[in-house]
Every structure is written in structure tokens, then in C-alpha cells.
């Protein structure tokens, strides 16, 4: 498990005077001389464009996609318990996967600005030490199954397997070596996330967690 943890480590916004006030929401016309009804509405702490319809100020905002799943019919108590465990594990590992994806993106973009391979390697070494110091205490609290799930969720967030990420940043030899060690624990860094196949239930839970439903 400690070796798996090491593998995972490598991968890793005044308020204006109101013209209209109602129920704590505030609106002010940003272009009062024009005939356009466009205004700005302050729905604290956010600010939205708005339109005046009669005596009402209506905020215009973008809503995120919402996915509605059909209820699950469990065939047994064992299946229900497995689903509850999956929810628990996704809630614990999905934030880490998103953090890792962000670090990978930032690291890649920063390395593109460095002048040569020596500077890139120096930055990689610094990032590896930071990740080990910052995340090792957290990762040690993960179970083996949660570690396996985390690798798949990293793939979900980056669209790259753990093997490909290590290969891209640290070279083929290290990617091969880490994959051999992962194999000792029954894992493979080349395993991909398949939301339409074997990981469809995991994808359902991830979406529900992201939407704040579970």
C-alpha cells in the first residue's frame, strides 16, 4: 500500500446603491440613459446581468447541467451496502483526484515556460518532494480499494492513465518500474476509467457527488 501511495504521489472573488430592493437582492440600472432594459442584479455574493420586466427585476444566469438518474433497485442487502461503500469512497477520493488533475495541469503549463531539461527536472524534483510531504499523511489513510479507485478517478479527471502521466513527466523506465510494483498489489497503472462499462456505477456516484445530491 505504501508503494501504491508513492505512485499516487508522483502523479499529484461595493454593493452599489440599490435602485430596486426586494428580499435582500439588489439591482441597479447600468445604462439608465438607454432604452435597453438591461440592468445588473446583485445576488450576494455574486453579480448577474438582469432585465426589468414590469416592476420586477429578473436575474439572468447560467445553470449547470443537471443529470437525473433513475432510482436503483437493489437485489440484496449486500448490493445496497456495496453502493453505500462506493458513495463513501468516491466522496473521499474524488477531491484528491481533482487536486491531482489541477497539479498536473499547472505543472505541465509551468514546465513549458522553462528553458531546458535541467530546469524541468529540477522543478519536477521539487514538486515530487512537495507532493510527498503534503499528501503522504492523507494517502496513508486510504484503504487499498480506495487507492485503486483514486487511480481510476485521476484518469477520469485527466483522461490519462497513471502510467501515461508518469511516462510523460518522468520517462518510460520509471513508468514501467512503478507499474511492476503496482502489479505486486494486484493493480495496473495502465487501467483505464470506463464510465460506460465497468465503471458506470462509479460515474453515477461521481456525478451525484458533484451535483451535491449525495
Which SS3 state, helix, strand or coil, does residue 66 take? coil
Segment 143-201, tens digit of pLDDT:
888 888 988 898 898 887 777 776 766 667 666 666 665 665 556 777 888 999 999 99
113/90: higher pLDDT: 90
pLDDT at residue 19 greater than cutoff 60 = no
DSSP 72: P
More confident residue, 183 or 126: 126
Q: In which band, very low, low, confident or very high, does the pLDDT at 123 lie, cut at 50, 70 and 90? A: confident
**Chain mean pLDDT for the chain:** 74
Kindly give the residue spans of alpha helices, DSSP state H, lying in 112-188: 117-139, 144-158, 162-170, 172-183
Residue 148 has a pLDDT of 85
139, 5 in Cβ contact below 8 A? yes
Q: What is the pLDDT of residues 27-72, one digit of tens each?
A: 444 444 445 555 555 554 566 677 777 777 777 777 777 788 888 9
Q: Which helix (H) or strand (E) holds 85?
A: helix 77-111
Amino acid at each position: 500500500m505504501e508503494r501504491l501511495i508513492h505512485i499516487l504521489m508522483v502523479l499529484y472573488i461595493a454593493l452599489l446603491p440599490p435602485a430596486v430592493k426586494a428580499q435582500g437582492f439588489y439591482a441597479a440600472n447600468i445604462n439608465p440613459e438607454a432604452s435597453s432594459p438591461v440592468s445588473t442584479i446583485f445576488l450576494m455574493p455574486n453579480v448577474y446581468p438582469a432585465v426589468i420586466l414590469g416592476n420586477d427585476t429578473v436575474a439572468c444566469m447560467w445553470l449547470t447541467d443537471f443529470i437525473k438518474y433513475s432510482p436503483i433497485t437493489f437485489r440484496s442487502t449486500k448490493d445496497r451496502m456495496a453502493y453505500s461503500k462506493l458513495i463513501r469512497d468516491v466522496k473521499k477520493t474524488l477531491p484528491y483526484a481533482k487536486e491531482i488533475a489541477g497539479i498536473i495541469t499547472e505543472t505541465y503549463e509551468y514546465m513549458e515556460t522553462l528553458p531546458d531539461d535541467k530546469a524541468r527536472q529540477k522543478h519536477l524534483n521539487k514538486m515530487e518532494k512537495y507532493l510527498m510531504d503534503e499528501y503522504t499523511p492523507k494517502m496513508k489513510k486510504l484503504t487499498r480499494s480506495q487507492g485503486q479507485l483514486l487511480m481510476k478517478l485521476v484518469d477520469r479527471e485527466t483522461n490519462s492513465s497513471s502510467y501515461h502521466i508518469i511516462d510523460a513527466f518522468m520517462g518510460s523506465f520509471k513508468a514501467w518500474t512503478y507499474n511492476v510494483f503496482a502489479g505486486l498489489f494486484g493493480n495496473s497503472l495502465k487501467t483505464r476509467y470506463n464510465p460506460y462499462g465497468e465503471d458506470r456505477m462509479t460515474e453515477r456516484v461521481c456525478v451525484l457527488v458533484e451535483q451535491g445530491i449525495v
